[in-house]
Chains A and B, each alone.
Chain A
Amino acid sequence: MAKTTELICVTCPMGCKLTVTHEGDTILGIEGNVCKRGEAYAQTELVDPRRMVATTVQVVGGVHPLVPVYTTAPIPKPLIFDLLSELRQVKLRAPILAGRVVLEDALGTGVTVLTSRDLPAAPG
């Protein structure tokens, strides 16, 4: 059965509203895209939507109680909350350098999670 799904392309700031007709993962037609990149967007968004994730992890002995961390590539959207729970278990000790690997192959996705900044140890 053919279905229609409404999407908004975010490939550029224009933000076209796409009406995608598809049967399962197979796209039958797209309307509303101003340029061709909208088609590629609809394809990935329909089959395997992914997002970048940024959050914080706990730090012991730092100038702040947290250090920000980020994924270096987008992870599948349905895994976002699992990744957040996993990162909630992590505790790092200051001093911390930017780019330190927090998770190497997060949830088996092959995506790395890194610290976003240096975090010096608290004085004293």
Chain B
Amino acid sequence: MDIPKDHLVDMYETMVKIRRFEERIRELYFADKLPAFDIAAGLIPGEMHLAAGQEPVAVGMRPHLKAGDAITATHRPHHVAIAQGVDLNKMAAEIFGRETGLGRGKGGHMHLFSVEPNFGCSGIIGEGMPVAVGAAMAFRHKGTDNVALSYFGEGAANQGAFHESLNLASLWKLPVVFICEDNAYAISVPKAASTAIPDNSDRASAYGIPGVLVGENDPVAVYEVMGEAIARARRGDGPSLVEIKTDRLWGHFEGDADAYRSEEFKTEMNERDPIIVYGNRLLAEGVLNEADMASIQQAMHDDVEAAIEFAMASPYPAPESALEDVFAGRSVQL
């Protein structure tokens, strides 16, 4: 690998951090909802879409980003938010509905917004894609060489917003990279039952832009392809579409019985857990040794624990603050 060692390590650390975060959210999500699962109950009520298994998709772009680059993500946003460096404490606090959260408890896990670093997400499929196009317009207008990355699931590629956004970005030659996280399912619907062609990357040709398929759930492969696509956008050569085959290790949302995926499929998927595969590779190639890995593990777990503690120690917002923030100036809506 002719990739700088610090990049390789950074991607591994971030993957470990993401996984730990998702594991802890999952534990705490269920902690007080069982035995009778009630979605409205507990420390973290509501829907919860976790991204365990999809870490490579998020971390592969990290070493290529610079300050000011924008990212829009989906209803399954944590991995991308962490990779973008969104404040983990505030993000956890938002998920726990606290006053100290990114959105003072108003948004929740599908609506995480951060100004610096620049990050946003949405619970509506395809919604972030035109927003990334707009971010790229702003960068061009301001004369910066920043780029916008738009994450979306393979299910979103059948939404009008996908096609309109690709066309706009190509037409105006904007610095956007569209990143399709292909985990083969949109809730229960397998890609083959929803998508007329096997690979969404082929759809790029309809808009006259490069379409690249990353066939494995591997951060190094993602790193290489994203390096190209981001550099191209930064140079002013226009958008690209990158499709990455990845795995959603858990249910669509927590509490999903996941009966629509066969046991065989799930077993195979777990056997190729990207963190284990990548970790073994780093060991085999001598990038890290066992002791390094243990200390990375410890450090990442500590970061996550600190964020969860911060969140749980934070106060809930005052009920009447629900009326604030509808309009600028923190005015109250009556």
B is bound to A: no
Binding site for B on A (CB under 8 A): none
Chain B interface residues (CB < 8 Å from chain A)? none
